[in-house]
Amino acid sequence: MRHTAFLLPVLCVGFTLSAAHALEPADEPCPKRNKDGSPDARFMKRHESFVAEAKKGGVDLLLLGDFLTDDWRGNNKNGVKAIFDKGFARYKPANFGQGGDYTQHVLWRVQNGELDGLTPKAVMLMIGGTNGSNGDPPDRILAGVEAIVNCVKRKSPTTKILLLSVLPRCEKPCGLRDRHMSVNALLPKLDDGGKTVKYLDISARFMQADGTIPREIMPDFMHLSEKGYQIWADAVEEPLRELMQAR
C-alpha cells in the first residue's frame, strides 16, 4: 500500500513500510527512514553536519556517495586517511559520503542544503551500489544517478562532475555483480564529453584477469582495504586533475 506523507514534509511523498526491499524509486528524493517511516536520526544528524560544513564554503572538491565514499575518512584504517590526504588534500576537499545511502538519499541530501553555499570546482560521485544490492534494476539506478547529476548542475552550474562506476561485488562473477556491471554500461549516457560530466569506469581495476576480486583489495567483497583505496586514488588522479584545472 502507498501512503502520502503530506503532514510530514521531511518525508517522501510515497513510501511502503511492510518490506525492506520496498523503497522509493531510485530518482525520488527521500531521507533515510526507520521502519515506522520517521527520519533516521543518524542520517539526519550527518546531513545537518554536512549542511553546516557547506555553509562555511571553501570547498573545491566535493565527494558524494555511500559507504565507500564515507570510508575515505579512514575510520579504523589509518592508511586510508593518508591516501586521501596525499591524493586530494591539495584540492580543499569535503567528504559528504554516508554509509547505507541509496541514490534517493543522496538526491534528497543535495536538494536539501548540502550544496547551498558551495561552488566546488569538481564533484566526485560514486553511487548506486546499495540500490543494486537492494535489487533495483539498472535502468532505475541510472535514473537515480542522473537525477543527482542534474541536481548538482542546477545547484552549481560551473561545477564539473567526475562520475565513477559502481564497483563490482562478490569474489567471483555473480548476479549482483552482473547488475552492477549493467549499471556501468548505462552510465556513459550521462557523459557529455567532459563539458560538465566525465564518466570513468574504474571497476576492472578491482578484478583479476579471471574475474575474481582479491581479498587484499576488498576483504568482504564489499568494503575496500587500504590497497583498494589506493587503486581508487590512482585511477582518478589524472582525470580529477584535468577537471580541477578546467574551470
Chain segment 59-77, per-residue pLDDT in tens: 999 999 999 999 999 876 6
Q: Residues 92-145: pLDDT tens digits?
A: 999 999 999 999 999 999 999 999 999 999 999 999 999 999 999 999 999 999
pLDDT given at position 16 = 31
Give 19's pLDDT tier (boundaries 50, 70, 90).
Answer: very low
Task: Report yes or no on 1 lying in a domain.
Answer: no
Lowest mean pLDDT among 21-35, 42-56, 113-127, 187-201: 21-35
Contacts 24+ apart (CB under 8 A), 73-77: 77/225, 77/226, 77/229
Q: Is the pLDDT of residue 41 over 90?
A: yes
Q: How many domains does the chain have?
A: 1
Task: Report yes or no on 152 lying in a domain.
Answer: yes
- E-assigned strand segments in the chain: 3-4, 14-15, 61-65, 93-97, 122-126, 160-164, 197-200
Task: Report yes or no on 35 lying in a domain.
Answer: yes
Query: Which of these, 49, 141, 59, lies nearest to 104 by C-alpha position?
Result: 141
**Cell 531521507 sits on residue:** 31
What are the residues whose beta carbons fall under 8 Å from the beta carbon of 154, sequence distance 6 or more?
none
> Mean pLDDT across the stretch 44-49?
98
Query: Which of these, 218, 247, 206, 230, lies nearest to 88 by C-alpha position?
Result: 230
Angle at 184 between CA 181 and CA 187, to 5 degrees: 160
pLDDT given at position 76 = 65
Task: Report yes or no on 7 lying in a domain.
Answer: no
Give the domain extent around 77.
Answer: 27-246
Round to whole Å and give the CA distance between 134 and 79.
30
Task: Report yes or no on 19 lying in a domain.
Answer: no
More confident residue, 181 or 245: 181
CATH number at 56 reads 3.40.50.1110
Give 33's pLDDT tier (boundaries 50, 70, 90).
Answer: very high
Q: Is the pLDDT of residue 35 over 60?
A: yes
Give 203's pLDDT tier (boundaries 50, 70, 90).
Answer: very high
What are the residues whose beta carbons fall under 8 Å from the beta carbon of 168, sequence distance 6 or more?
177, 180, 181, 203, 206, 207, 213
pTM: 0.90
How far is Cα of residue 36 from the mean position of the Cα atoms in its chain? 26
Q: Is the alpha carbon torsion for 18, 7, 144, 64 positive or negative?
A: negative
Q: Is the pLDDT of residue 14 over 90?
A: no
Alpha helices for 113-225 (secondary structure H):
129-134, 138-155, 175-186
Mean pLDDT of the chain: 90
Task: Report yes or no on 17 lying in a domain.
Answer: no
Q: Is the pLDDT of residue 211 over 70?
A: yes
CB 236 within 8 A of CB 125: no
Round to whole Å and give the CA distance between 174 and 176.
6
Task: Report yes or no on 10 lying in a domain.
Answer: no
Q: Is the alpha carbon torsion for 68, 71, 73, 78 positive or negative?
A: negative
Task: Report yes or no on 216 lying in a domain.
Answer: yes
